[in-house]
A and B are shown apart, each in its own frame.
Chain A
Amino acid sequence: MIIPNKSMNHYFLLFMFTLLSILSTCDENAENFTLGEEFIESQTDINLIDTFSVVLSTVILDKVETSGTENMLVGNYEDNLLGEIYCDSYFQIGTANSIDIEYGDSYDSLYLVLKYNGYFLGDTSQSQKISVYQLAENIVTEADEVLTNQSTFSYNPNPIGAVIFNPQTISDEDNVLIKIDDNIGLDLFSKINEESEIITNNELFIDYFHGLVLKADETNQKLVVGFNASKDDVKLVLCTTRFGEYGDEEIRNEFTMGDSTKQFNHISYDLSSTLLKPLVEQRYELPTTNTNGRAFLQAGIGLLIRVDFPSLSNILMFQQGTIVKAELTVLSSNIDNKDRELNSSLLLYKSDKINRVQTSIASASKITTGESYEEEITYTFDITDYLKDELDDLYFAPEESGLLITLSSNTLGSTLERLIIDNKSPKTKLKIYYLTY
């Protein structure tokens, strides 16, 4: 019988433990293992397929939500491709927070105060006459609590004030003052002096005053500008004078814009002399074959671009493979978009058969390539997940799998941004990276 040796056991355990620790740290650089590449037979391949056609068409929205966008669009613009566009901004005026008028004070004037927000489209070297009209009825939202570019309310055809406005001569901090007809001012002043309930009750005040609409002179069709549509920046100011022993004091009573969701931009247009004349109803898109190979995205009016892949169902005939990447690229039409600032990103939504916007699919950022005199602007959407989903059931119905290119809803409702896509260029395409195994 051999006598064991305890220290020997401990020595071995220690040795094994050390060995274990050394060996378990040896495997850290596994990502660098490249030896043996030449002995491998690859069974998978990624193939680029860019032959599936991309068919674009232009869709007109039946209406574009334009309420509560915080941007009042005022002006008229004659677009070289889309005809005339008229923007009027409607808003409510509510009661004043406080009224400071005493017996003996005298009426001076009534002003509408606006604040230019820097947005413009067109020729800012020209002055523009903006007139104020008083509404003849209350602004009432539609069934879905919104107001759209198509909404309209009647107003008194005689302007109650006007201003000649030139965006070049005004800094962003300056207010635009529009003198309002004294008849309106005096009537308001007398309601205050009578201590009428109208002055303190917002509902009664709205029923009394209704609201205002700003319209630009239709003879100028070269400029649309934007004003802030917030309570702090839109107000009706009643100026009065209080006579005192130490001099006269001027008092300002401010009636601010009421409910901001009742502010909206009415945008009318006339496509009858353009390529887009056939566009009447949202459900009927206009293919680019009818519009010189161009598809139109236009905010305000609500022109969106529909994308179809009519031949994509052929991909289902491929054996043993799958999409590992799919990219839709659209090329801006350089000539048409000249002098236009293009939006930095576009959104892509699923469409239904009748061109209603469904779920969000992707977004794309503006990519500018090339030299300035021949630069190219493209937007590329990653639609991998969308196409994989659509093809997952081994069925693809092109008419039910359309997409819509659009702008954010706020941009659609409060700007006149435009983007024209070239559907003839091979750079507007669908790239599918198809893995075969």
Chain B
Amino acid sequence: MKNKQATAIIILFWLLIITNRSLAQVKNSIYSMYGIGQVIENNYGINRAMGGTGIAFQSGNSINTLNPASYLGVSPNSFTIETGIYGIYNRASDGNITQTNGDINISYFLADLYINKWWAISFGILPVSSVDYQINSSDQVNGELTTYEKTYTGSGGISQGYIGQSFKLLKGLTLGINTAYYIGDLIQTETGGGDNSYTEYELENKKNINGLHFNYGLQYSMEKTDWLYTLGLIYGSNKTLNTVNDLSFTNTDTTISLEQNDQANIQIPRNFGLGISMKKGNDFRIGLDYQWKNWAQSNFNTSNFVTKNSNRLSVGMEYSPNTRESKPFGQISYRLGANYQNSYLAVNNVRINSFGVNCGIGIPMKRNNSLNFTIEYGEEGTLKKGLIKYSYWAFYLHFSLHEFWSSQNR
């Protein structure tokens, strides 16, 4: 490719594949200990800068994965590829103790291809959930007044590789279908000893998960007095993923596999989303999304938490003043957004809720490429009932590369 930024994106993509890292979007959160881990909602692209809003937005120079009906928004005879880096600085507190963490990671890869005026294809790799925690603890020997160190850790997560298509059915009406392959390992370990008193041991519980999942989208747009109004719907069916639960025990360099009684399969719940948006030219758009996921149906076979149906509400807007005169900056986009959600978890009968506010900037670069930067502040959890509250600053950097199929079209 002629484009240096394209090369950079491709390198990042291959790094992602080769290192086989989970697309971790969570840093040391005990709420990622439950179920499938922390669910990663709407963390991609410019949608993030708008609070994760986009069910009724079209894809454009950057790809909107929230609704599979949106891929037709890519410019005719062109394709877009996009990747993102994400960083988080997280502060956790239970009211007494405070601990801080930080991490930086590659977060996703997406592509959107224009095929013809009624068909576009998108594919990519996205995170679905993420597990990351470490708890240093201690325990007492039964029968003796001695304590020993124990550490609990969680890692891994579920990612999806998807291929999706948008079809134009009628004027203003598009339908989208995503076929996603979910894959990942959720790993939880308990280690002890090793401090010169007891032989070190590790008990590892690894859930290997895979399965196909389909989700669908519709967008209907109509123009009225300079404004384009769009209504978006998304739906995903309930799906039980193949889960292989391995329990193994390691002590003095020998690992043995153990019988695992609990072989509950991980479920992706039925989900539904509704969005509306208004757009004026290429300068301004605003959208509102609501999503609901039927997690209450999922049974994780554990007693330490309860699943609830999750709700998510978000709002976002983008303003791209068309000021070609101010050339050093070109047509910069400014974005704002906010979201509130009830997660699928209730720990100690307390619902784990979160909110985030975002702002972002999109900077045009060579060849219609763009660089988008988003900053987010959010909070999750509560100090009630001895729970832990997290507050975080997150940073997202997305590169979008835009390229035409053939040069005469430029």
B partners with A: yes
Is A8 among interface residues, defined by CB-CB distance under 8 A? yes
A31–B347 alpha-carbon span in the complex (Å):
25
Instruction: Check B203–A437 contact: CB distance below 8 A.
Output: yes
Tell me whether A388 and B190 are in contact (CB under 8 A). no
List the B side residues contacting A38 at CB < 8 Å.
Answer: 386
Complex Cα–Cα for A385 and B327 (A): 74
Interface residues of A in 271-288 (CB under 8 A from B): none
Contact A20-B87, Cβ < 8 Å, known A5-B328, A48-B144:
yes
Which of the 9-residue segments A136-144, A146-154, A233-241, A319-327 touches chain B?
A319-327
Partner-contacting stretch, out of B15-23, B132-140, B212-220: B132-140
Main SS class of interface, A: mixed
Q: Determine the chain B residues whose CB is within 8 A of the CB of A323 once the complex forms.
A: 199
Determine whether B258 belongs to the interface, using a CB cutoff of 8 Å to chain A: yes
Q: State whether A324 touches B102 (Cβ < 8 A).
A: no
- Interface centre among A23, A27, A42, by most chain B C-beta atoms within 10 angstroms, is A23
- Assign chain B's interface to a size class: 35 or more
A-B CB pair tally, cutoff 8 Å? 154
Residue among A19, A44, A320 making CB contact with B190, cutoff 8 Å: A44
Tell me the bound Cα distance from A32 to B99 in angstroms. Answer: 8
**CA gap between A45 and B347 in the complex, in Å:** 24
Q: Which residues of B contact A324 (CB under 8 A)?
A: 192-193, 198-199, 201, 251
Do B363 and A23 touch across chains, with their CB atoms under 8 A apart? no
A335: Cβ under 8 A from any B Cβ: no
* A11 vs chain B, min Cβ distance (A): 10
Complex contact A44–B150 (CB within 8 A): yes
Q: How far is the CB of A50 from chain B (nearest CB, A)?
A: 8
A24 with B104, Cβ < 8 A, contacts A16-B85, A324-B193 known? yes
B193 and A32 contact, CB distance less than 8 A: no
Given known A-B contacts A29-B99, A324-B251, A40 and B135 have beta carbons under 8 A apart: yes
Q: Is the CB of B102 within 8 A of A27?
A: yes
Confirm or deny: A158 has a beta carbon within 8 angstroms of a beta carbon on chain B. no
Chain B residues, CB < 8 A from A33: 28, 99, 134-136
Whether a CB of chain A sits under 8 angstroms from the CB of B175 is no
Judge whether B192 and A44 touch: CB under 8 Å: yes
Q: Mark A34-70, 1 if CB is under 8 A from B, else 0.
A: 1111111111111111100000000000000000000
- A433 on the B face (CB < 8 A): yes
- B101 is contacted by which of A9, A27, A40 (Cβ under 8 Å)? A27
Residue contact B190 to A325, C-beta cutoff 8 Å:
no
Q: Which residue of A lies closest to B138 (CB)?
A: A37
Asked if B365 is at the interface of the complex by the 8 Å CB criterion, the answer is yes
Q: Is B223 an interface residue (CB 8 A)?
A: no
- CB atoms of A20 and B329 under 8 A apart: no
A38-B386, A50-B143 given. 19 additional CB < 8 A pairs?
A: A2-B331, A2-B368, A9-B365, A9-B371, A12-B371, A16-B85, A19-B395, A23-B88, A34-B97, A35-B30, A35-B93, A36-B30, A37-B135, A39-B347, A48-B141, A324-B199, A324-B201, A435-B198, A437-B203
Residues of A participating in the B interface, judged by any CB pair closer than 8 Å: 1-5, 8-9, 12, 16, 19-20, 22-27, 29-50, 320, 322-325, 384-385, 388, 433, 435, 437
